[in-house]
Structure 1
Amino acid sequence: MEDQENPKILQIPDQNLQKKHQMMLERLSNRHQTRLETRKLDSTDSTTSTFLSRFNDSKNSIISQLQTTTDPSRLTVISDAISTLEKLVAENSYSLPSYEVRSSLRTISDLKQNLENLSAQLIPRKKFSFKSKPTRTQTQSQILQNDVVSTPNETELKFNFPVRESPGFRDKQNEVLFQDFKCSEIGEFTLSGLDSCEVRLVGCVNALFFNKLKGCKVYAAPVTGSILIEEVEDCVLVLASHQIRIHFAKRCDFYLRVRSRPIIEDCNGVRFGPYCLNYEGIEEDLEAAGLIEETGQWGNVDDFKWLRAVQSPNWSVLPEEERVGTVDLADLGCGNDAS
């Protein structure tokens, strides 16, 4: 009876008040999101600014040394400084804008070239000569380990990194070629003019040059410096290096371990996967080359001829089901006793 005499009053919400409340919540949410984005941009700008400051200080120091050095013993110091600068770019590449990375890599490439020019001025280049060493029984007649020649008048590659007089395999067809760099004085090695060949390289070397390869398979041990590639077609290349630059490649698969982003130019139909080579002693070689850590940079390719923000159509990541898997040189028949 009391409820009937004093009925409860139902409050009907004010729709205008609800709308105002919702609009207020949206404004607060948008304001919060804007603050987060601003902080993120400020953080990115701060990281880029810090990197550029360190990079430019190191670059200017190296340029000064290149311009004033007359003592050949200082070349190693300059080379180490360039390597440290390259490492700085690799360590910050994930957090930097792509154009800053490309610009930095071009600067490093120019510094290396200037160091090469200075080295040629201060230290006359000696011709290569191979020391005689005991031969062992060749169990695979196809492996042409001793078929290494030197061409004095090799033309320069189009990206201005000369092949010079380095030893290497040149002008071969349908052959299996093997070279062991362990206990060797070879610092640079060239593969040029090869057609339908399989190349197996073990032991560390300072630099590799590739020019005019067609339908080849190349399995290479770690490289302590750079790998430069030009005019390769329908090839499979398994490579590890601090820096890899690829020019004029068509329909090739690259399996890489690399400290900085791979660079491609004028390429199409190229695919990338992780380094997959194995042989006895490879862990020691990776350690010696400073490549023991997998950085994942093999899938972070820079196409210098593709400036749009969207993915370049000239390269792609190899689907896992299409990758070759681990390549063990012992299974290929070259063995661990090859010399």
Structure 2
Amino acid sequence: MEEDDTINPNLTESTEHASLQKKHSSMVERLSKRHQTRSDNSDSSSPSFESVSSFLSRFNLLKTSIESNLAESQSLSSQLKPHFDNIAVSISDLEKLVAQNSYFLPSYDVRSSLKTVSDLKQKLDNLNSQLIPKKKFAFKNKGAKKDSVFIPQSKPSTVENVVSEKASSIAVRDSPGFRNETGHVLIKDCKGLEVGEFTVSDLDSCEVRIIGTVRALFVHRLKNCKVYVGPVMGSILIEEVEGCVFVMASHQIRIHNAKMTDFYLRVRSRPIIEDSNGVRFAPYCLCYQGIEDDLHGAALDQETGNWANVDDFKWLRAVQSPNWSVLPENERVGIVDVSNMNNGNEEI
């Protein structure tokens, strides 16, 4: 008697059911772990909604308020500058709102929200150019000597009109930082200190080491630099960098106008790039004495894998953006140990 080669339908259904149950259990476990991680790492000072509809409701309310203030600008005959400054702050807050909630938002909603933010910036810039007379300004005093190699915290660069900086989410700030340097090793030791905002701007062929924790980091106009940063408890905003290497950990990272630059990141939300190309990403690799405690204190001790989940604001197609890629393992720098603070030539 020949064996019956017919597949038992009951056995097939049972196997498929078991497979589906296994997948379902695995998905529930992943979602449970993700929720627990978010609960453990949540920052009560940051507005996180965990609901797309709640986020969009808040986002649209703030957007409407900004649009109303923009429309009011045409009727004002005085006090335009403080009016525009307040609008710029509101737009910055709106952008931060998107960054703080981007980890659960669909990619389309992230891109759409950021497009709205970009349009509001452009409207503000257009109104500023139309209603306020042009002023000549520079990012450093005309009397500054070219061979000045270091600007201490007590003498930050200033700009009279930050709103007129075209389409920039990162205004030049009067915060401590490193500015206008070429070919130096610049060290900031924040261990045991409460450092708020820190700015790194207008550097060429420099190495920057920030040891310890800061609240927020702003990076402007760097070329051929290496920047090694301990945990940042808030956001990192980067603009106009080329040929650089960044090693940094933060809750949110936004990158504008970056070219041929490598980023080694640990980040809670998805990194966002805009108007960038040739940028590559790899996991965080910084080391110094006490970094594990610093990472834990900043709720950045867990690797999220988001360094490889990059959102390209200017790439709206469903396929992978050609503007960024994962850095091949054989081209990565390995562990970067900056524990030795004595081999730098500038320190604050």
**TM band (smaller chain):** 0.5 to 0.7
CA distance in 2, matches of 1:144, 1:232: 20
C-alpha deviation, 1:55, in angstroms: 2.5
Maintained 8 Å contact 1:86/1:108: no
Please give the residue correspondences for 1:76-155 in structure 2 after superposition, counting only pairs within 5 Å: 88-90=101-103, 92=104, 96=106, 98-103=107-112, 146=152, 149-153=155-159, 155=162
> 2:172 corresponds to which letter in structure 1?
V
The answer to whether the aligner puts 1:296 opposite 2:305 as a matched pair is yes
Q: What's the counterpart of residue 167 of structure 1?
A: 176
Maintained 8 Å contact 2:264/2:283: yes
Q: Relative to structure 1, is the Cα distance of residues 283 and 65 closer, same or farther in structure 2, using a 3 angstrom cutoff?
A: farther
The answer to whether the aligner puts 1:327 opposite 2:336 as a matched pair is yes
Q: Deviations over 1:280-306 (max 9, x none)?
A: 121222122221111111111111111
> 2:241 corresponds to which letter in structure 1?
V
Maintained 8 Å contact 1:149/1:170: no
C-alpha deviation, 1:101, in angstroms: 3.2
Q: What's the counterpart of residue 222 of structure 1?
A: 231
Q: What's the counterpart of residue 290 of structure 2?
A: 281
Q: What's the counterpart of residue 55 of structure 1?
A: 55
Q: Relative to structure 1, is the Cα distance of residues 334 and 292 closer, same or farther in structure 2, using a 3 angstrom cutoff?
A: farther
The answer to whether the aligner puts 1:318 opposite 2:327 as a matched pair is yes
Q: What's the counterpart of residue 116 of structure 1?
A: none
Q: Gapped runs of 5+ residues in structure 1?
A: 1-7, 11-20, 44-49, 68-79, 111-142
C-alpha deviation, 1:259, in angstroms: 1.1
Give the secondary-structure state (helix, strand or coil) at the position aligned to 2:111: helix
Q: What is the number of residues matched between the two proteins?
A: 259
Q: Gapped runs of 5+ residues in structure 2?
A: 28-49, 69-92, 120-148
Give the secondary-structure state (helix, strand or coil) at the position aligned to 1:150: coil
C-alpha deviation, 1:181, in angstroms: 2.5
Instruction: Using the aligned pairs only, state the percent identity.
Output: 56
> 1:191 corresponds to which letter in structure 2?
V
Q: Relative to structure 1, is the Cα distance of residues 324 and 332 closer, same or farther in structure 2, using a 3 angstrom cutoff?
A: farther
> 2:300 corresponds to which letter in structure 1?
L
- Normalised to the residue count of structure 2, the TM-score between the two structures is 0.61
Q: Relative to structure 1, is the Cα distance of residues 84 and 284 closer, same or farther in structure 2, using a 3 angstrom cutoff?
A: farther
Maintained 8 Å contact 1:145/1:178: no
Give the secondary-structure state (helix, strand or coil) at the position aligned to 1:245: strand
Give the secondary-structure state (helix, strand or coil) at the position aligned to 2:231: coil
Maintained 8 Å contact 1:211/1:232: yes
Q: Deviations over 1:155-193 (max 9, x none)?
A: 447333322212211111000101123344541111111
CA distance in 1, matches of 2:173, 2:167: 13
Q: Relative to structure 1, is the Cα distance of residues 277 and 106 closer, same or farther in structure 2, using a 3 angstrom cutoff?
A: farther
Maintained 8 Å contact 2:114/2:313: no
Q: Relative to structure 1, is the Cα distance of residues 145 and 193 closer, same or farther in structure 2, using a 3 angstrom cutoff?
A: closer
Give the secondary-structure state (helix, strand or coil) at the position aligned to 1:160: coil
CA distance in 1, matches of 2:250, 2:320: 24
> 1:150 corresponds to which letter in structure 2?
P
Q: What's the counterpart of residue 120 of structure 1?
A: none
Q: Relative to structure 1, is the Cα distance of residues 157 and 204 closer, same or farther in structure 2, using a 3 angstrom cutoff?
A: farther
- Normalised to the residue count of structure 1, the TM-score between the two structures is 0.62
Maintained 8 Å contact 2:253/2:267: yes
CA distance in 1, matches of 2:290, 2:343: 14
C-alpha deviation, 1:104, in angstroms: 5.4
CA distance in 2, matches of 1:104, 1:157: 20
Q: CA RMSD in A?
A: 4.3
> 2:229 corresponds to which letter in structure 1?
A
> 2:222 corresponds to which letter in structure 1?
L
Give the counterpart of 2:210 among 197, 201, 206: 201
Give the counterpart of 1:239 among 238, 242, 248: 248
C-alpha deviation, 1:103, in angstroms: 3.9
Q: Relative to structure 1, is the Cα distance of residues 210 and 325 closer, same or farther in structure 2, using a 3 angstrom cutoff?
A: same
> 1:152 corresponds to which letter in structure 2?
T
